[in-house]
Chains A and B, each alone.
Chain A
Amino acid sequence: MSGIEKNPLIPAIRVTDLTVAYGDKTVLWDIDLEIPRGSMVAVVGPNGAGKTTLIKSIQGLIPRVAGVVSIHGKSYQKQRKEVSYVPQRGSVDWDFPTSVVDTVKMGSYGDLGWIRRPGRKEHEKALGALEKVDMLEFSNRQISQLSGGQQQRVFLARALVQSASVYLLDEPFQGVDATTEKAIVRILKELVAGGKTVLSVHHDLNTVSEYYERIAILNVGLVASGRVDEVFNSENLMKAYGGKTSFFPERKSTRRAV
């Protein structure tokens, strides 16, 4: 049976010994990660650190060399419906001939299963999700006519339709306008407040403390994971980014105090 484990101590996501390789290149090395239920977690790391690979391999989209993933204490395969995925906006072709509402409806395909088509119920649900992301007026628009921020909202709406308990997002703020970024953060925080778990690949280190309570710092191996105020420090960032980043939270906190 799928579903959310009653015991709150069982993490929403548990990754054990996860190793992934493409050809002769190791992309993820021996990752052990626990994401507590009801937390909002950032995955950060330099380019090629395996952030997207982590999100994908949690969902079995990429074959693993080794490792086990469990969602609410059971295997991902059993808990598929508890997991909602927001891929990178740039990973699809927005020229695909379809409307906004039809794209959002795709989120209901999993519940429908093979062959059955979405009906009125799924349509209503899609419109509800579009309302949440403030895109209702665009429901009949061609997806090719959307701006980057609007595309990202559509993707989020599609994930909301799935009514899952774990949300995996791949760079939801990449190339979106400030209004959209705020709107997405607000929705994600609402989800977390409602007991859902959010794991999001994040690029902008400046906003980590503001948006997230927990963080996983990645560079092929897991450098650190835990509460943002405990592990998001210069030492760990140096380990992950090397000399490649000039960002340190200490500096930011002084700037903030001004």
Chain B
Amino acid sequence: MLESMAGLYSDYTARTILLGAVSLGIVSGVVGSYAVIRKQSLVGDVMSHAALPGIVLAFIIMGAKEQLPIFIGAALSAVLAVLLINLVTNNSRIKTDSAMGIALSVFFALGLVLLTYVQRMPDANQAGLDKFLFGQAEALVEKDVLIIGLTGFFAILIVGLFWKEFKLLCFDPDFGGTMGFSMKFLDVLITAVIVSAIVIGLQTVGVVLMSSMLIAPAVAARQWTGSMGSMVILAALIATVSGITGVAFSAGFENVPTGPAVIICVSLIAFFSILFSPNGFLTLKFRDAKNMRKIKKNYVLMALYDLGLEHADLGYAHSERLLILGSKKGFNVRKSLLELENAGYVERAGDGNWRLTQSGIREVTDISPMEKVHESTSV
């Protein structure tokens, strides 16, 4: 794999492919952040699937695999799907999720039917059209990368220019509207940016998986940061790294399509982030467990301390049973005692009795007054 990456750098074609993957990564990270923040992840999914009939129709009309017409076709049919969804949800009782589900499968099915039809045509020109399903970065040529780069540049330029306006659109469109910003215009603009990001990713990642390229980096980035700016940058970084890794992977192993390779990589990063980021699932679970242990240990320490006060001897040894009886919730006192023993705060005094050590007594006086009050009233 390392060899294949080294090989990629030296090779001209390979550099082109890498450049494509990098541009696509940056754009989809930035733009995808908006799809995720606006809770439109599924719209991205619908649009990328719905691009397929547009791609094939563009080919049928042009009779050749021309880059620009295919892009336009893809964008048009993606937008058409979204417009149809809006039309249906605004004028019927059908809810958005149902409408999106229907639109996605209908457009994708239509795309597949057209694709099968085209592939039966005698013209050899259609070869490779099915690559739009899962993407094939190896097929990228300089001209493709140029278009990806240019489109991406404009997409990012728009996000940069309208940075604060998009913030309003995402957070509080009503408020934004009262300040004279046209939210309708901004909505159309950001949708256009998302569509263009999807379209330039079709060749590399494919229609089926492009939505993950938008969503996963943004979701991963969101786990690590609390600001829109750093989220956008981090998402771009994650998508770029995944793009490069995926391309290298599919170049290193025969017959591994690029799209899935990229998506597996980005999904792993997202998965890791959801589990281990500062607010991640496991991080929080771990923190809770740690807190709980600490509270229980303090509880036992305080109980020993208070019992000691009653005997006018802080180092007095008390039976474990007494401590168990004193604990309200019936938690595992033994376990807390063993942990406290390891920390050197308590020691055994024979016959199942325990007493505070000197450092244990000091630790009790260090526990915050609030905790002390609370604990001593509950014992």
Do A and B actually bind?
Answer: yes
Known contacts being A97-B225, A117-B163, is A80 close to B180, with CB within 8 Å? Answer: yes
Taking CB atoms and an 8 Å cut-off, the chain B residues in 172-199 that contact chain A are 172, 174-181
Does chain B have a CB within 8 A of A92? yes
Interface string of B148-175 (1 = CB under 8 A from A): 0000000000000111110110111011
Tell me if B175 and A85 are in contact (CB < 8 A).
yes
The chain B residue with its CB closest to the CB of A168 is: B178
Does chain A have a CB within 8 A of B330? no
Interface residues on A, range: 20 to 34
Tell me if B226 and A106 are in contact (CB < 8 A).
no
Tell me if B227 and A110 are in contact (CB < 8 A).
no
Closest beta carbon of chain A to B93's beta carbon, Å: 12
Of the candidates A87, A97, A142, the one whose C-beta lies within 8 Å of that of B37 is: A97
Tell me if A92 and B163 are in contact (CB < 8 A).
no
Taking CB atoms and an 8 Å cut-off, the chain B residues in 199-247 that contact chain A are 222, 225-228, 231
Known contacts being A97-B37, A98-B227, A114-B181, is A92 close to B171, with CB within 8 Å? Answer: yes
Does chain B have a CB within 8 A of A203? no
Closest beta carbon of chain B to A51's beta carbon, Å: 15
Give the B interface residue count (CB, 8 A).
26
Interface string of A112-152 (1 = CB under 8 A from B): 10110110000000000000000000000010100000000
Task: Give the A-B contact count at a CB cut-off of 8 A.
Answer: 74
Q: Which residues of A contact B39 (CB under 8 A)?
A: 93
Interface string of A140-171 (1 = CB under 8 A from B): 00101000000000000010001000000000
In the assembly, what is the distance between CA of A96 and CA of B166, in Å? Answer: 12
Tell me if B171 and A103 are in contact (CB < 8 A).
yes
Does chain B have a CB within 8 A of A99? yes
Q: Which residues of A contact B181 (CB under 8 A)?
A: 109-110, 114
Closest beta carbon of chain B to A215's beta carbon, Å: 24
Does chain B have a CB within 8 A of A225? no
Q: Which residues of A contact B228 (CB under 8 A)?
A: 96-98
Known contacts being A106-B168, A109-B168, A118-B164, is A99 close to B175, with CB within 8 Å? Answer: no
Tell me if B179 and A98 are in contact (CB < 8 A).
no
Q: Which residues of B contact A96 (CB under 8 A)?
A: 37, 170-171, 228
Tell me if A106 and B174 are in contact (CB < 8 A).
no
In the assembly, what is the distance between CA of A59 and CA of B181, in Å? Answer: 13
Tell me if B164 and A87 are in contact (CB < 8 A).
no
Closest beta carbon of chain A to B361's beta carbon, Å: 36
A-side interface residues toward B, CB under 8 Å?
Answer: 56, 59-61, 80, 83, 85, 87, 91-93, 96-99, 102-103, 106, 109-110, 112, 114-115, 117-118, 142, 144, 158, 162
Q: List 6 A-B contacts (CB under 8 A).
A: A56-B174, A59-B178, A97-B225, A106-B175, A114-B181, A115-B161
B-side interface residues toward A, CB under 8 Å?
Answer: 37, 39, 161-165, 167-168, 170-172, 174-181, 222, 225-228, 231
Query: Nearest 4 A-B pairs (CB), nearest first?
Result: A110-B179, A142-B226, A85-B178, A96-B171
